[in-house]
Structure 1
Amino acid sequence: MADVSVRAAREGDADEIGRIQVETWRTGYGSILPDPVLQSLTPELAAAAWRDAVLEPPSPRHHVLVAQEQTWTVGFAGFGPAADTVAAEPPTGDADPAEAAPAEDAVPEGTIEISPLLVEPRWGRRGHGSRLLAAVVDHARADGMQRAIVWIPEADTASREFYLSAGWAPDGLVRALDTGAGELREVRLHVSLAES
């Protein structure tokens, strides 16, 4: 069995996290993100941003984790309290609560957002993504969070299938991001962090 683990990121991990992000986006999102966006990404810029996220997180509930296989860093996840939650509004009139769309964040302050969770493609299909996701959920529960969300590109079927297979579901929200070189549509998935 391979020596695999997930741990909190340290300052020295930032360069590898930046490299993994750029390589993974260029490989996995080559047909999803506009070429100018992909070309503007550099490992150095990404590493600087991740170094800041590791050393000076916005709150104690913001975390960066890395997945390792033996001595190699093979993936990472960044997450923290969600910044784009939707205030819950009760259905009006005779509306069926089950048909209310989109699903609102009943407790916005108890919601975390994963942004992003990536495993370098050459290390895929070895359980690293699942281990990272399980560690994210464990940390979020320890922080008292009740729900998790993630935005993924609408065309990213691999990520969608990964989250769906882990029990996540679409919550009805879609957004369009202006990348400066075209529009990127994203869908939001969610899961309850309540332990069953």
Structure 2
Amino acid sequence: MTIRRANPSDAKGIARVHVDSWRTTYAGIVPDGYLQRLSYESREKLWQAEIARSAVFVAENEQAQIIGFASGGKERTGKYPGYDGELYAIYLLKEHQRKGIGKKLVIAVAEDLLRQGFSSMTVTVLKENPSRFFYESIGGIRIGAEEIEIGGKKLEEWIYGWKDLRSFLAALAEDSS
């Protein structure tokens, strides 16, 4: 398994992971009709643009197939003083979850945020998404909540934060040794 920075030719593989992981992760949370309308083609266009403007990392298996991705950059809302970076997205195909790959993707984004001069990070996750416990397991502290609407359904998002990326990365490195 390899973690590397995404390039424009990765957009198709990222789109596939994005759509497939939404359909498995959000089944029973997000309306089925919304999930079924997601398309690889529209997500591929989205990721072509995203790769050009922000830090996107991919996880590849031994066959060089993209099995996960993460992206990050400047915190976008301005609602959380003291938090300047953000983990925008992280998704893994269901069969590759719970193997440490997500942690490696978060580390890649956090290290990149530090290189860009950011010192902290947030992430937004649906309250009903069991993956939110992943953020808690790696030291994320809940710092806020927002209501959103997806496919006509009102949902609650929880915002987690890491105040000091250097300490966060040091703690993850210590856990790994």
Give the TM-score, by structure 2 length: 0.88
- Which of 167, 181, 195 lines up with 2:139 in the alignment? 167
- Cα gap change, 1:161/1:47 in structure 2, threshold over 3 Å: closer, same or farther? same
Gaps of 5+ in 2: 168-177
Find the counterpart in structure 1 of residue 152 from structure 2: 181
Greater percentage in helix: 2
Match runs of 1:1-196 below 5 Å: 4-55=1-52, 57=53, 62-70=54-62, 71-86=64-79, 104-106=80-82, 111-157=84-130, 159-171=131-143, 173-196=144-167
Contact 2:87/2:123 (<8 A) preserved: yes
Equivalent AA in structure 1 for residue 35 of structure 2: L
2:119–2:166: 8 Å Cα contact kept in structure 1?
Answer: no
1:181 shift after superposition = 1.5
Give the C-alpha shift of residue 194 in structure 1. Answer: 4.1
8 Å contact from structure 2 (residues 60, 68) kept in 1: yes
State the distance in 2 between where 1:192 and 1:138 align: 14
1:72 Cα deviation from its structure 2 partner: 1.9
Quote the Cα distance in structure 1 between the aligned partners of 2:139 and 2:69. 20
Partner of 1:36, secondary structure, is: helix
RMSD of Structure 2 on Structure 1 (CA): 1.4
Which protein has the larger Cα radius of gyration, Structure 1 or Structure 2?
A: 1
Do the aligned partners of residues 155 and 12 (structure 1) sit closer, same or farther apart at CA in structure 2, a change above 3 Å counting?
same
Distance change >3 Å, CA 181–CA 5, structure 1 → 2: same
Distance of 1:72 and 1:178 partners within structure 2: 33
State TM-score, norm by structure 1.
Answer: 0.80
State the alpha-carbon separation in 1 of the partners of residues 12 and 153 from structure 2.
29
What is the distance in 1 between the residues matched to 2:134 and 2:151? 28
